[in-house]
Amino acid sequence: MKRRPLPLLIVGLVLALILAQCAPAPTPSPTPAAQPPATAPAAAPSPTAAPSPTAAPAKKFVIYHVPKAVGIDYFKSANQGMEEAAKEFGDVELHYEGSINASAEEQIKVLEDIITKKPDALIVSANDPQALVPVLKRAREAGITVVTYDADVLPEARIFFVNQATFEGIGKALIDEAAKQVGPEAKIAIVSTFPTAPNQSRWVEEMKKYMAQAYPKMQLVDIRYGEDDQAKSRQQATDLIAAHPEVQFLIVPTSVGCPGVADALEAAGKVGQIKMTCLATPNGMRAYVKRGTLEAFYLWNVVDLGYLAMYVTHGLLTGEIKPTDKTVKAGRLGEREVGPDNVILLGPPFRFDKNNIDQFNF
């Protein structure tokens, strides 16, 4: 066998080594990058900083104002006062809800529906002092704060009653007005709302009581009921005038019935022969006062009444007012005392006439 020369073998090995050194390094296989912990993708920057994900929306107290009936200027004015107070607080969601008719049965249905919505509070002008007690008790048992204003229920069904004026003060003012215009021996009649209406029944009671004490020769000829309806009140007044031609003075303790009775006097041609006064709003009676259909009427500032009712309700919800408090603070109205049965009084009745009526807009 012929042997390969050694030098050639060595040269081959050296060349192999040189070629290996000159070859490009192999590209390493890509390995997965280390994954960070799973987090929500970062939000793109924006000019306005996003709210903190842990910030909760501000608490709003949901309060329902339930009047005797909607569509009545008196209660619209009260709601205006509630809205004013609500804006001052900034944490109230106010709803205005009621029936079209001033009916206890319909008001109960409205309240039952509202209770299912679980509001924080109810502010109620009651159509009946007893009929609404069960439904308002259920509201309180459900944790809803109940405040009445304008017309009350039995005290066990609410926490506070915000009263416009004392029953005695209103009864006195109306009877004194009759004596002032017609004389202490006047023959008077009353056109009221319903026989069971809480406010009106008490005002009538106080009128009778005060009349017997202060004007024993004054005579109450008749009482008619217009059911808080302007047209019905007009008809009742028309029938009363026809049945009792001796009547000299009419008293109408209802803002809804007052324009209707004034219309009846005008239609019968009795303006000046039969005088009248009532409880009503300036806007509702301005034209009649300026025409001379009536000289004067009484009320209170209904906007302030709603404002006070909202302050009392809000104070109960925040804890600033306790059911046992003897005074309450009410914003621009200042401080008000709490009387027996947790009744808070707005103030005395106010006499509106041609000299001051244009100073008011409610």
Count of structural domains, the chain: 2
Alpha-carbon distance of 117 to 140, in angstroms, equals 14
Are the C-beta atoms of residues 347 and 97 closer than 8 Å to each other? no
> What is the pLDDT, as a whole number, of residue 261?
98
- Domain contains 257: yes
Are the C-beta atoms of residues 182 and 249 closer than 8 Å to each other? yes
Domain of 81, CATH number, reads: 3.40.50.2300
Contact partners, residue 75, CB within 8 Å, separation at least 6: 67, 68, 69, 98, 125
Alpha-carbon distance of 291 to 9, in angstroms, equals 138
Are the C-beta atoms of residues 147 and 309 closer than 8 Å to each other? yes
Alpha-carbon distance of 343 to 341, in angstroms, equals 6
- Domain contains 201: yes
- Domain contains 220: yes
Alpha-carbon distance of 268 to 293, in angstroms, equals 12
Statement to judge: residues 70 and 155 lie in one domain: yes
Contact partners, residue 222, CB within 8 Å, separation at least 6: 189, 190, 240, 243, 244, 247
- Domain contains 92: yes
Tell me the three state secondary structure of residue 218: coil
Statement to judge: residues 307 and 341 lie in one domain: yes
- What are the phi and psi torsion angles at 329 (to 5°)? -100, 135
Tokens 């390969």 — which residue? 4
3-state DSSP percent of the chain in helix, strand and coil, to 5: 45, 20, 40
Of 284, 299, 314, the residue that ends a domain is: 299
Statement to judge: residues 277 and 194 lie in one domain: yes
> What is the pLDDT, as a whole number, of residue 54?
53
- Alpha helices, DSSP H only, in the chain? 6-22, 73-89, 104-116, 133-141, 167-182, 198-214, 230-243, 257-268, 282-291, 302-318
> What is the pLDDT, as a whole number, of residue 327?
97
> What is the pLDDT, as a whole number, of residue 56?
58
Statement to judge: residues 187 and 212 lie in one domain: yes
Alpha-carbon distance of 49 to 275, in angstroms, equals 69
Tell me the three state secondary structure of residue 274: strand
Statement to judge: residues 153 and 178 lie in one domain: no
CA distances from 274 to 188, 249, 280, 281 (A): 10, 5, 18, 21
Statement to judge: residues 306 and 160 lie in one domain: yes
Are the C-beta atoms of residues 268 and 238 closer than 8 Å to each other? yes
Statement to judge: residues 184 and 282 lie in one domain: yes
Q: What angle do CA 111, 125, 330 make, to 5 degrees?
A: 115
The whole-model pTM stands at: 0.74
Statement to judge: residues 271 and 172 lie in one domain: yes
> What is the pLDDT, as a whole number, of residue 265?
98
For residue range 200-255, what is the model confidence (pLDDT) as tens digits? 999 999 999 999 999 999 999 999 999 999 999 999 999 999 999 999 999 999 99
Of 299, 314, 334, the residue that ends a domain is: 299
Of 282, 299, 316, the residue that ends a domain is: 299
> What is the pLDDT, as a whole number, of residue 55?
55
- Domain contains 26: no
Alpha-carbon distance of 11 to 80, in angstroms, equals 111
Statement to judge: residues 86 and 114 lie in one domain: yes
Q: How many Cβ atoms sit within 10 Å of the Cβ of residue 47?
A: 4
Task: Check residue 129 and report its DSSP letter.
Answer: T
Statement to judge: residues 215 and 273 lie in one domain: yes
> What is the pLDDT, as a whole number, of residue 329?
96
- Domain contains 19: no
* CA-based nearest residue to 190, from 231, 150, 244, 149: 244
CA distances from 341 to 42, 90, 133, 184, 308 (A): 60, 30, 15, 35, 17
Domain around 148: 61-164+302-347
- Domain contains 120: yes
- Domain contains 335: yes
**Which amino acid appears at position 180 of this protein?**
K
Statement to judge: residues 82 and 135 lie in one domain: yes
pLDDT in tens, the chain (362 residues): 444 444 444 334 434 443 344 444 443 333 333 443 433 333 444 444 444 445 556 789 999 999 999 999 899 999 999 999 999 999 999 999 999 999 999 999 999 999 999 999 999 999 999 999 999 999 999 999 999 999 999 999 999 999 999 999 999 999 999 999 999 999 999 999 999 999 999 999 999 999 999 999 999 999 999 999 999 999 999 999 999 999 999 999 999 999 999 999 999 999 999 999 999 999 999 999 999 999 999 999 999 999 999 999 999 999 999 999 999 999 999 999 999 999 999 999 999 999 999 998 88
Statement to judge: residues 214 and 281 lie in one domain: yes
